[in-house]
Structure 1
Amino acid sequence: MDVVSDAISAVRLGQPSSNRIRVSGAWCVRLDPYAGAGFLVVMRGGCWLLPDGGAPVSLAVGDAVLLPHGTGHVIADSPVDAEAVRNAVPFARWPGGNGERARPDRGGTEILCGKYRLDCSRLHPLMAELPEVVHLPSRIGSRVELRAAIDLLAGELDERRPGACTALLSLLDLLLVYMIRSWMSEATSGVWPGVLGDPVTSAALRALHSDPAAPWTNDRLAAEAGVSRPTLARRFATLVGRPPMAYLTWWRMVLAATLLRDTPDTLAAIADRVGYGSPYALSHAFEREFGTTPGRYRAKVADRAPSAG
């Protein structure tokens, strides 16, 4: 595994949901804050995004937007005023959200929007430092992978061929990866683009994420990264914000929490998978990190889990 994949997998819950909006004329709709990440892609026409507490963003055909922290927002046909924002129609009650086609003679806008459910209680710092709004404008020759994913999504939505449901979910997951990757490749601020751009630190992180249960030491990790132990310690702590072994301990606890949430595995099996020699050792480290025992944590997340259907 790599850091980006792990950072997403550790917090992702269930399957993404999506809606296809086709609308024309004047419109203004409100989407409330959400415990996860929201996204939208303009497939036809154009619109405006007005995030809570942020500046309006003009969106054109092919533009993609990720709202990685579930920021509430309004989307509208034009840059509406504050009163219109206050009176925006909630998405759940908006006729335009039913996917009916806009009248071609009136132009119209078509948007793919949706949500990724995330467990925001233990975000990887890479996910935590994403800005409230990641706007990825469509530009010829740029973000080829993202553009290809958007084109494939449009095709699956249009054709509804056999296997479309599975393909659509996979493409929505791919869209999330490509949006984060695009932000990282173009970010002018933020820690983690620099972390993963540094050959020494990225090599060390890749090793830790590939086999978190291995008996890592600073010497072994330095050898894996091809540098001396002092060099690794200095660069890793400077860029990541904590020493390599402290990061490993934290990441093992996040993995343990994920396994407690998503699997019926025994504590002994989880301890083995995350590099602890006994359930007792894992319990002690887990309680120190999260302030609760593994058993209580598992019961709590089970109580919060949505009911079937």
Structure 2
Amino acid sequence: MDALAGLLEGPRARGAFMIRACFEPPWSVRIEDRAPLTVMLMVRGEAWVLPDAAEPVLLRPGDLAIARGPDPYTCADDPGTPPQALILPGAECSYPDGRSLNGSMDLGVRSWGHRLDGSAVLLIGTYLWQGEVSGRLLDALPPLLTLTSEVWDCPLTPFLMEEIGRDEPGQEVVLDRLLDLLVIAALRAWFSRPEAEAPAWYRALADPVVGRVLRLVQDDPAHPWTVASLAVKAGVSRAALARRFTELVGEPPMTYLTGWRLALAADALRDTDDTLEAIARRVGYGSAFALSSAFKRVYGVSPQEHRGRAAEVRA
């Protein structure tokens, strides 16, 4: 598996919140849902995305924005338009004063706003739960990234426009997979851009020494690696590897290895029914107890609690 493929394995929507938002000026929606990741694809018209702590961004037809939570932001026809609606956790909607919208802006199946033929139309997909997007991917992203139609062409837009309004058996799963595919396509395009702030370990893959070590660790996390054994594989001294790895990646080799193993374990707990013992062996821990101790120290919850929360999301 190449490094980018490993990173992009992260998005796995389950019952994601997806809507077609259709507006007529003046309009403004305040988003305070604390969702880990939200994708906005501009289909028609223009919209401003206004983060609280960053410069506003104007979206035109074909442009895409990805907002990383939990920080709030506003979408509007103009930066000066005051919010008319508030999006809260769990896809709850209210007026800014707290009164419920009570479905007053519903326009049919997964459509919301003023009118279906509104001058501004956005396709919005939101991952509602942290477990749906890997922490490694979230850490690699800025609070708000954008791709304009000048640097990428989204082939999914017509298909998304058609599918988002369907109400058929299994439609939720279809939309989840389409959202995952949209995010993967967008992030692959973004990571290829010179302005992309890729994580340190990703940039370090280009280094002939550290890149080789990273690939060894990523490809075979269960191997009993030590700094000494990795240094032999890389053809440098133990001290030289430790110094160079820490300088380029931002953490020592064994710290990175631990994080990688636990990230793989977290995904396995979420996506499989394998026993904790089997997962521990697969990611390089000698026993379920050893994995459980390390997992709780880093994630703050036990593996069983992590699995239970993932099951609640799927339910």
**Fold agreement, TM-score > 0.5:** yes
Q: Hey, what does 1:95 align to over in structure 2? A: 105
Q: Distance in 1 between matches of 2:128 and 2:205?
A: 25
Superposition pairs for residues 115-134 of structure 1, below 5 Å?
A: 115-119=126-130, 124=135, 127-134=138-145
1:115 CA drift (Å): 0.6
Q: Distance in 2 between matches of 1:176 and 1:260?
A: 23
1:48 CA drift (Å): 1.4
Q: Distance in 1 between matches of 2:186 and 2:232?
A: 33
**Secondary structure in structure 2 of the residue aligned to 1:148:** coil
Q: Hey, what does 2:90 align to over in structure 1? A: none
1:128 CA drift (Å): 1.7
Q: Amino acid of the residue matched to residue 187 of structure 2?
A: I
Q: Amino acid of the residue matched to residue 61 of structure 1?
A: P
Gaps of 5+ in 2: 88-92, 94-100
Q: 1:113 aligns with which of 124, 131, 134?
A: 124
**Secondary structure in structure 1 of the residue aligned to 2:16:** strand
Q: Hey, what does 1:215 align to over in structure 2? A: 224
Change in Cα spacing, 1:271 to 1:133, as seen in structure 2 (3 Å) is same
**Percent of counterpart pairs with the same letter?**
34
Alignment of 1:136 with 2:147, yes or no, is yes
Q: 1:244 aligns with which of 241, 253, 261?
A: 253
Q: Amino acid of the residue matched to residue 63 of structure 1?
A: D
Alignment of 1:279 with 2:288, yes or no, is yes
Change in Cα spacing, 1:201 to 1:130, as seen in structure 2 (3 Å) is same
Q: Distance in 2 between matches of 1:126 and 1:196?
A: 16
Q: Distance in 1 between matches of 2:208 and 2:243?
A: 14
Q: Distance in 2 between matches of 1:120 and 1:162?
A: 25
Task: Say whether the 8 Å CA contact 1:11–1:118 is kept in structure 2.
Answer: no
Change in Cα spacing, 1:161 to 1:97, as seen in structure 2 (3 Å) is closer
Superposition pairs for residues 58-207 of structure 1, below 5 Å?
A: 58-81=58-81, 84-85=82-83, 88-91=84-87, 92=93, 93=101, 95=105, 98=108, 99=111, 102=115, 108-119=119-130, 124=135, 127-139=138-150, 142-144=151-153, 147-154=154-161, 156-157=163-164, 166-186=173-193, 187=195, 189=197, 191-192=199-200, 194-198=203-207, 200-207=209-216
**Secondary structure in structure 2 of the residue aligned to 1:55:** coil
Q: Distance in 2 between matches of 1:45 and 1:301?
A: 42
1:19 CA drift (Å): 0.5
Q: Distance in 1 between matches of 2:285 and 2:248?
A: 27
Higher helix share: 1
Q: Amino acid of the residue matched to residue 139 of structure 2?
A: A
Change in Cα spacing, 1:277 to 1:121, as seen in structure 2 (3 Å) is same
Q: Distance in 2 between matches of 1:200 and 1:65?
A: 35
TM-score (norm 1): 0.76
1:15 CA drift (Å): 4.3
Task: Say whether the 8 Å CA contact 1:7–1:127 is kept in structure 2.
Answer: no
Q: Hey, what does 1:43 align to over in structure 2? A: 43
Change in Cα spacing, 1:171 to 1:206, as seen in structure 2 (3 Å) is farther
Which stretch shows the higher mean deviation, 52-61 or 152-161? 152-161
Q: Distance in 2 between matches of 1:291 and 1:167?
A: 33
Q: Amino acid of the residue matched to residue 299 of structure 1?
A: E
Which stretch shows the higher mean deviation, 199-208 or 67-76? 199-208
Q: Distance in 1 between matches of 2:116 and 2:20?
A: 15
Task: Say whether the 8 Å CA contact 2:38–2:125 is kept in structure 1.
Answer: yes
Task: Say whether the 8 Å CA contact 1:11–1:120 is kept in structure 2.
Answer: no
Gaps of 5+ in 1: none
Deviation string 1:122-173 (CA, Å, 9 cap, x unpaired) is 964552242211111110xx335xx224454345447899986554332211
Q: Distance in 1 between matches of 2:305 and 2:139?
A: 26
Aligned length: 295
Superposition pairs for residues 23-42 of structure 1, below 5 Å?
A: 23-42=23-42
Q: Amino acid of the residue matched to residue 46 of structure 1?
A: E
Q: Distance in 2 between matches of 1:131 and 1:166?
A: 28
Task: Say whether the 8 Å CA contact 1:271–1:278 is kept in structure 2.
Answer: yes
Q: Distance in 2 between matches of 1:122 and 1:177?
A: 11
Task: Say whether the 8 Å CA contact 1:47–1:77 is kept in structure 2.
Answer: yes
**Secondary structure in structure 2 of the residue aligned to 1:237:** helix
Change in Cα spacing, 1:30 to 1:18, as seen in structure 2 (3 Å) is same
Change in Cα spacing, 1:64 to 1:96, as seen in structure 2 (3 Å) is farther
Q: 2:263 aligns with which of 254, 259, 265?
A: 254
Task: Say whether the 8 Å CA contact 2:12–2:180 is kept in structure 1.
Answer: no
